Amino acid sequence: MTSSSNGYCSLLSHTEILSIMGNPYKDGQWKHLKSLISGPLTSFSYSELSLSTTKFTERIGGGGFGTIYKGVLKDGTMVAVKRLENTGQGIDEFLAKVDTIRNIHHVNLVKLIGFYNDKRQRVLVYEYMSRESLDKWTFHENSSFCLDWKIRKKIVLNIVKGLAYIHGDCRQRIVHLDVKPQNILLDDSFNAKISDFGLSKLINRNESQVVTQMRGTLGYLTLEWQHSRITVKADIYSFGIVVLEVITGRMVLDYSQPDSDVCLLKLVKKKGQEKRLSDIIDLTREDVQQHIETVNAMIMLELWCVNEDHTRQPSIHSVVKLLEEEKMMSVTTRF
């Protein structure tokens, strides 16, 4: 999967949306597609979008599946406008997924506002996230980008609440399958929202797992992928890795480090065994040191999330409760 550094290259829909909108389809399929996207979404004209983006001039992201432009609608609403590029894939899963995703609404999920479609142009319109993606604020060289502990903790809680919603609180259970900093977008107040459901899979409520081919990003993948039978715990594993990145300011795989320190998870476990976790915690902001006990407790919680045995991982709702009630101190994890 291709992603830009600011996270806008892969917003709410991805391969499936691009594939079907780029392919010819039967009349019945197109009528069904129109019925799906004519609900809570706005149907824009191409001239409206061209005007809102100043003829698609302010590029804010892009990748192999399209280019993202900053836009302003007539009412002053700022948006991210994605011009889609052609690719080929099946229609059935796409239709099922759109039917689900168009109806999921949560404060911690990026909102799809509308669309434009004709034989030549396919465009999707999303809410604009001014602070861009979490990786910009996590893997920084400029200390001015470093987040204080209060904001980091809020971001972590936002992410887990978004996951809790798609894992069971919405009508159709969804496993995201590509949770990573590039797919976490931030608004003006550093509220976090999950984006890019392009690799996601739907799980029926009477089932606990789904069979699928390996997908996602190296470093964030659970061992479940070895058997191709994926549960929502795959997202919990990825979430745990993301939080370790937020706490340490280090990438999950950093090949600029010595061979023994390339893998963040192995490094965290090693430092934990040595009782030297403070060695790898991002202490650029002074308040992180002031909350060091909470920081260490959160590391313990995330190590529980990345347990290689998915049956021993916590549920996403358990993680929400521990974070909301600040009961992380009760979590004990062996390194």
SS (H, E, C) 229-286: EECCHHHHHHHHHHHHHHHHCCCCECCCCCHHHCEHHHHHHHHHHCCCHHHCCCCCCH
Pick the more confident residue, 105 or 243: 243
Does position 156 have pLDDT exceeding 80, yes or no? Answer: yes
Kindly state whether residues 68 and 156 are assigned to the same domain. no
Pick the more confident residue, 13 or 284: 284
Where a domain ends, among 79, 94, 127?
127
Domain membership of residue 67 (yes or no) is: yes
Q: Which has the closest alpha carbon to 175: 193, 207, 197?
A: 197
pLDDT band at 66 (very low <50, low <70, confident <90, very high): low
Pick the more confident residue, 164 or 91: 164
Task: Report the domain count for the chain.
Answer: 2
Beta carbons of 107 and 164 less than 8 angstroms apart? no
* Mean pLDDT computed over every residue of the chain: 79
CA 298 vs. chain centroid, Å, equals: 20
Kindly state whether residues 81 and 136 are assigned to the same domain. no
User: One of 99, 135, 178, 235 is an active-site residue; which one?
Assistant: 178
- Domain hosting 90: range is 8-127
Where a domain ends, among 127, 144, 176?
127
Mean pLDDT within 8-28: 41
pTM of the model: 0.79
196 noted as active-site residue: no
β-pairing, 42-43 with 112-117?
A: parallel
Q: In 22-133, where does DSSP find H-type helix?
A: 27-37, 46-52, 92-101
Domain holding 48: CATH number? Answer: 3.30.200.20
pLDDT band at 97 (very low <50, low <70, confident <90, very high): low
Beta carbons of 53 and 94 less than 8 angstroms apart? no
Report pLDDT for 264: 96
Buried b (16+ CB within 10 A) or exposed e, 24-43: eeeeebeeebeebbeeebee
Distance, in Å, from the CA atom of 40 to the CA atom of 102, rounded to the nearest integer, reads 7
Beta carbons of 33 and 25 less than 8 angstroms apart? yes
Distance, in Å, from the CA atom of 333 to the CA atom of 335, rounded to the nearest integer, reads 6
Structure confidence by residue, pLDDT tens digits, 67-85: 789 999 999 999 988 787 6
Beta carbons of 282 and 249 less than 8 angstroms apart? yes
Kindly state whether residues 123 and 137 are assigned to the same domain. no
Kindly state whether residues 316 and 298 are assigned to the same domain. yes
Does position 173 have pLDDT exceeding 60, yes or no? Answer: yes
Report pLDDT for 168: 83
Q: Binding site membership for ATP: which residues?
A: 82
Where a domain ends, among 87, 105, 127?
127
Distance, in Å, from the CA atom of 166 to the CA atom of 78, rounded to the nearest integer, reads 26
Kindly state whether residues 309 and 201 are assigned to the same domain. yes
Question: Which 3 state secondary structure label does DSSP give 124?
Answer: strand
Q: Which has the closest alpha carbon to 245: 326, 308, 319, 155?
A: 155
Domain membership of residue 180 (yes or no) is: yes
Kindly state whether residues 151 and 109 are assigned to the same domain. no
3-state secondary structure 131-184: CEEHHHHHCCCCHHHCCCHHHHHHHHHHHHHHHHHHHHHCCCEEECCCCCHHHE
Domain membership of residue 3 (yes or no) is: no
Beta carbons of 235 and 270 less than 8 angstroms apart? no
Structure confidence by residue, pLDDT tens digits, 281-303: 998 888 999 999 999 999 999 99
Kindly state whether residues 90 and 15 are assigned to the same domain. yes
pLDDT band at 40 (very low <50, low <70, confident <90, very high): low
Q: Tell whether the torsion through CA atoms of 265, 271, 274 and 277 is positive or negative.
A: negative
